[in-house]
Amino acid sequence: MRRLLHLTGQHRTASVDRIFGLLLAFNAGAVNAGGLLVVHMYTSHMSGFASQVADGLVLGNVALLLGALGALLAFIAGAATTAVIVHWAQRHHLRSAFALPLMLEAALLLVFGLLGAITLTWPTPFAVPLTVLLLSYIMGLQNGLSSAMSHGKMRTTHMTGHVTDLGLELGRLVYRNHRLTPPEQRVRANRVALRFYGGLIGMFIVGGIVGATGFKYIGFVWVVPLAALLLALSLPPFRRDLRRSVYLQLLLGSAVRRFGRRAPPSGP
């Protein structure tokens, strides 16, 4: 449990960040591959959606244009939500600043897992079902989190940048320095980065295999274990804040009282 606390807590080491990134890459791979089976598109593939916007404009295909635009806006909204939550939590000195977006992602994955079949029939103004927008929002939420935690050095919902970085490090690894090259000018591969980029890509692929298999044979409810994993990562620092932060206690207490006043009476 103490290990889980450090994964999304305030004070983390580089090795802990790498472990967290690998777990998030696994989760994104599972959700992305499962999303293809459900809605027949990769909901974290923003490069593809941006191209679809251009194609829709040129071809005059309104449905293609609106669908891609909706996915783009949902992804952006997810990343923006992460930024708002993280900065709000940091302003109030909460140690769970990075855990809170993860809790929200877990909650939305539970909604998707339990109500995904229903949301497939819910229309939206963007010519795609609500499920597409929900999955894109979740992916934006997670990618914003991994980027915020790593100061822009790590993305976990798409691998294009990491595949590029892996290629660069492999090039440096096989590059032959001239024997007269001074030591400070020699080209050297960053072996830690090489292993990390390879690990991220590998975990994304493994997650995709697990996600596709689960959605194929079990269905929407397969994401419930993924949500449970995210909750396991995010709850320890949140519980610690809940014990120590008077502000958080007052805020939650106020929300509970407000919800209690709005709830209908249970008796006849």
Residue pair 69/53 in contact by the 8 Å Cβ criterion: yes
What's the predicted TM-score (pTM) here? 0.87
Q: What phi and psi, each to the nearest 5 degrees, are found at residue 228?
A: -65, -35
Helices 191-217, 160-174: crossing angle, 10 deg rounding: 140
Q: What phi and psi, each to the nearest 5 degrees, are found at residue 194?
A: -60, -45
Position 207 pLDDT exceeds 90: yes
The string of pLDDT tens digits covering residues 58-85 is 999 999 999 999 999 999 999 999 999 9
The string of pLDDT tens digits covering residues 132-160 is 899 999 999 999 998 988 888 888 888 89
Q: What phi and psi, each to the nearest 5 degrees, are found at residue 99?
A: -80, -30
Q: Whose CA is closest to 197, among 170, 163, 146, 147?
A: 163
Residue pair 89/83 in contact by the 8 Å Cβ criterion: no
